[in-house]
Amino acid sequence: MALPKVLRGPEELSVDGPKVIRSFDVFGVKINFTETIVLEWFVIGIILLVVFILTRNMKVRGTSKRQAIAEMAVEVITNLVRDTMGKRWLWFTPYIATVFCFSIFGSLISLLGVRAVTSDFSVLLSWAAVTFLLITATKIRYGGVRGYLKGFVDPIPVMLPINILSEVSTPAAMALRHFGNIAGGSIIMGLIYYGLANLSHMIHLQVPVLMVGIPAILSLYFDLFSDFMQAFIFIMLTMVFISNAGPAEGET
């Protein structure tokens, strides 16, 4: 996992946010063009390239290994949506697959030595905001505007403030859960690199060989297992919240 601007020397440790490439003033509002935006487009390019490679020259018979992998991936995500949300919600499959892929590649991009896209809270908050809009749209679709507003005073009117807080906290909790784990992993790996660099300096090693083996082993968890788990948890919460916003399977 890439160091979040952490290691500048054996005596200094700092954690910074995404680098601001340029700032714009739009109607008195300052808008920052950060490295996260550039990396997001880079991630989009990687995903499009992978999709192109796996899906080009597809055939009905005599399928290639690339096509077999693509079909297996589609089948896995489709079954996951069906088992979690029900057949009625299968049209959400492209959205769930997109969020999952973007989360995975956005986190693993740190292996290239750059900042993970998912370590920027604004990215996770935007995903959670889209999910929140989908939840709200689903409630209005099946219960109407009146039913949606009525839900804030159920079961008794005194619950209005709590219900509003619960509604608003949904996207915030989803974003903070994902961001906290990814950013926390980056900081932990930064501390490990910092500690090993200082230890190498203390024992007067010309080459910091201690920074070769241990970080690589820990990276198996922080870069692979943790990233996949956070992406999986995020899409599972998305599917559960959206499906619970509508009637149960079989109901009209």
pLDDT at 97: 93
Give CA–CA dist 194/5, Å, rounded.
11
Question: Mapping DSSP to helix (H, G, I), strand (E, B) and coil, where does residue 14 land?
Answer: coil
**Is 159 part of a structural domain of the chain?**
yes
Q: Determine, yes or no, domain membership for 250.
A: no
Residue 252 lies in a domain: no
Stretch (H or E) spanning 231: helix 226-244
Asked whether the whole model's pTM tops 0.85, one would answer no
Q: Structural domain tally of the chain?
A: 1
Query: What are residue 29's DSSP bridge partners?
Result: 26
Q: Decide if 123 is inside a domain.
A: yes
Domain that holds residue 65: 7-244
pLDDT digits (tens, 9 = 90+) for 87-125: 888 999 999 999 999 999 988 887 777 888 888 888 888
182 φ/ψ angles, rounded to the nearest 5 degrees: -70, -50
| Mean pLDDT (whole number) for 24-38 | 84
Is residue 23 situated within a structural domain? yes
Beta partners for 23?
A: 32
Distance from C-alpha of 252 to C-alpha of 243, rounded to nearest angstrom? 14
Note the pLDDT tens digit of each residue in 51-97: 999 888 878 777 788 888 888 999 999 999 999 988 888 999 999 99
Q: Which helix (H) or strand (E) holds 139?
A: helix 121-150
Max CA separation in the chain (angstroms): 73
The answer to whether position 249 is within a domain reads no
Q: Is residue 2, in this structure, part of any structural domain at all? A: no
> What's the pLDDT tens digit per position in 76-85?
999 999 999 8
Residue 251 lies in a domain: no
Q: What is the reported pLDDT for 222?
A: 67
Distance of CA 154 to the CA centre of its chain: 33
Q: Which two tokens stand for residue 28?
A: 């008195």
Q: CA distances (Å), 151 to each of 131, 132, 143, 148, in order? A: 19, 16, 9, 5
As separate numbers, helices (DSSP H) first and strands (DSSP E) second, the chain gives 7, 4
